[in-house]
């Protein structure tokens, strides 16, 4: 049987049915519906998209709505009762949650650094500094380690009596309480996160460099441009789309995958200075037995991610248009 014959047979069946009634109503009905197609035809698209819609609605939207709904109920003695915006009031009254939101802000501020490091290193590899082949693989290596292992390693290195402070002591600098000083701890953890994940961004940058027109750099050099000038006027403009992409993915990484490191390295401390919303949610739901409050925090985090996601989508769309 040739491919394509089944649809045609279906069509004859569906089209043929109203005519099969054989009475005068058939043309009348067709006339009433005007140009509309028969019922089965009109239902077909809905039936076909139903599985996807049901999955999205049942496994995504419904739980989301449940979670939002749950955030308006109470915890403990008030379990199941509607409490209006009480949870949200508690949330924004809690210095710990405000600290968590502040830390999100800090992450956004640190984002350019997190992008600049792999960018600069990729530039050096592209410019073939001595040993660039070795660096290329060494830089990628931490990206394959799990956050738990990375955290455990750095816990040892950054302990008060650990290797980092011993080295500082050798050059005559006082010990730094990397994970015990509230002003330093968050930056430390972000630094470790960047160390552990910049390999991926580096690969993306190297891929971007591969599309760069080498003759432009040669031309700039012949015109007497210095290295900083080459980077500033040739490489950065040529890589603008790659840089935007790395910005977006690094932001997502910072906002969504710091939990493991925080859990292993600081546990939200010292003094609550390294809380992030997702860690806060985990603590409230499990340790504090306040799932409704955790739902409220999840809803707030969802709102933040929605805004960030839409902004990123806008950036990516704009850069796509430049193609």
Partner 1 sequence: MKQRALSAIAVITALASAGCGSAADPGSDSGGSGDKLVVWDWKSGDEAAASYIERAKADFAERHPDVEVEFVAQPFDQYYNLLGTAIQSGEGPDVMMFNGGGQLRDRVDALLPLDDYVADDRERLAGWEAFSQDGHVYAAPVTLQGHPIYYNKALYEQAGLDPEAPATTWDDLADDCEAITDATGAACFAQGNKEGYGIQFWLSGLGSGVLTDAEYEAWIAGERDWTSPNVRRVFELWQEAGETGLFNDGANSTAMFNDMFAVFESGEAAHVIGLMSDVGHWKEFNEFLGAENVGVMPAPVVNPESAPSLPYDGGIGYGVAEWTDDPELAADLVRSLTSSGALEAFYADAGAIASDTTIDASDAGPAASAIVAQIPDGEPALHVALSSETLELLGRLSQQLLSGSITVDDALGQLAENDQAD
Residues engaged in binding partner 1 (CB under 8 A): 45, 49, 53, 57, 61-62, 65-66, 68-70, 73, 76, 79-80, 82, 96, 158-161, 175, 177-182, 266-267, 269-272, 282-283, 285-289, 291-292
Residue (114 or 158) nearer to partner 1, CB = 158
Nearest distance from residue 272's CB to partner 1, in Å? 5
Residue (16 or 174) nearer to partner 1, CB = 174
Nearest distance from residue 51's CB to partner 1, in Å? 14
- Work out the widest C-alpha separation in the chain, in whole angstroms: 103
- The torsion angle over the Cα atoms of residues 301, 304, 306 and 307, rounded to 10 degrees, is 180
Please tell me what DSSP assigns to residue 38: P
Nearest distance from residue 10's CB to partner 1, in Å? 21
Nearest distance from residue 67's CB to partner 1, in Å? 9
Residue (124 or 160) nearer to partner 1, CB = 160
List CB contacts of 273: < 8 A, sequence separation 6 or more. 99, 103, 182, 183, 185, 186
For 225, what's the count of Cα atoms within 13 Å in the CB-facing half-sphere? 17
Residue (180 or 238) nearer to partner 1, CB = 180
Contact criterion met (CB below 8 Å) for 86 and 293: no
Nearest distance from residue 94's CB to partner 1, in Å? 10
Residue (38 or 180) nearer to partner 1, CB = 180
* DSSP code string of 145-205: S-HHHHHHHHHHHHSTTSHHHHHHHHTTPPP--TTT-HHHHHHHHHHHHHHHHHHHHHHHH
Residue (70 or 198) nearer to partner 1, CB = 70
Closest CA to 146 of 111, 193, 106, 183: 193
Residue (117 or 150) nearer to partner 1, CB = 150
Residue (27 or 80) nearer to partner 1, CB = 80
Q: How far apart are CA 280 and CA 25, in angstroms?
A: 67
Q: Is 247 left (phi over 0), alpha (psi -120 to 50) or beta?
A: alpha
Nearest distance from residue 251's CB to partner 1, in Å? 28
| Enclosing H/E stretch for 15 | helix 5-20
Nearest distance from residue 179's CB to partner 1, in Å? 4
Residue (188 or 242) nearer to partner 1, CB = 188
* DSSP code string of 193-235: HHHHHHHHHHHHHHHHHHTS-HHHHHHHHHTT--HHHHIIIII
Q: Copy the structure tokens of residue 127.
A: 């410019």
Burial class from Cβ neighbours inside 10 Å (0-12, 13-18, 19+) for residue 305 reads middle
Nearest distance from residue 123's CB to partner 1, in Å? 36
Nearest distance from residue 92's CB to partner 1, in Å? 16
């Amino acid at each position: 049987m040739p491919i394509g014959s089944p649809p045609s047979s279906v069509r004859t069946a569906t089209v043929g049915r109203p005519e099969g009634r054989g009475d005068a109503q058939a043309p009348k009905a067709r006339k009433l519906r005007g140009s509309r197609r028969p019922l089965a035809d009109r239902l077909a698209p809905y039936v076909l998209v139903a599985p996807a819609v049901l999955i999205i609605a049942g496994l995504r939207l419904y739980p989301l709505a449940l979670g939002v709904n749950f955030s308006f109920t109470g915890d403990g003695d008030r379990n199941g009762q509607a409490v209006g915006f009480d949870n949200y009031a508690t949330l924004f009254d809690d210095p710990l949650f405000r600290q968590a939101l502040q830390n999100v802000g800090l992450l956004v501020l640190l984002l350019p650094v997190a992008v600049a490091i792999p960018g600069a290193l990729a530039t050096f590899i592209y410019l073939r500094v001595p040993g660039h082949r070795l660096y290329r693989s060494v830089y990628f290596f931490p990206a394959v380690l799990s956050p738990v292992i990375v955290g455990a390693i750095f816990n040892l290195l950054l302990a008060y009596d650990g290797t980092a402070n011993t080295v500082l002591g050798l050059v005559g600098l006082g010990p730094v309480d990397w994970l015990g000083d509230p002003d330093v701890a968050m930056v430390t953890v972000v630094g470790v996160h960047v160390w552990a994940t910049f390999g991926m961004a580096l690969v993306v940058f190297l891929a971007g460099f591969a599309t760069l027109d080498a003759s432009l750099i040669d031309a700039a050099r012949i015109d007497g441009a210095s290295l900083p000038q080459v980077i500033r006027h040739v490489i950065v403009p040529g890589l603008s789309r790659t840089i935007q992409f790395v910005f977006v993915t690094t932001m997502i990484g910072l906002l969504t995958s710091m939990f493991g490191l925080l859990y292993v390295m600081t546990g939200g401390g010292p003094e609550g200075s390294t809380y992030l919303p997702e860690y806060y949610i985990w603590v409230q739901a499990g340790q504090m037995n306040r799932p409704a409050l955790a739902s409220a925090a999840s809803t707030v985090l969802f709102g933040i991610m929605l805004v960030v996601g839409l902004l990123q989508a806008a950036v990516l769309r704009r850069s796509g248009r430049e193609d």
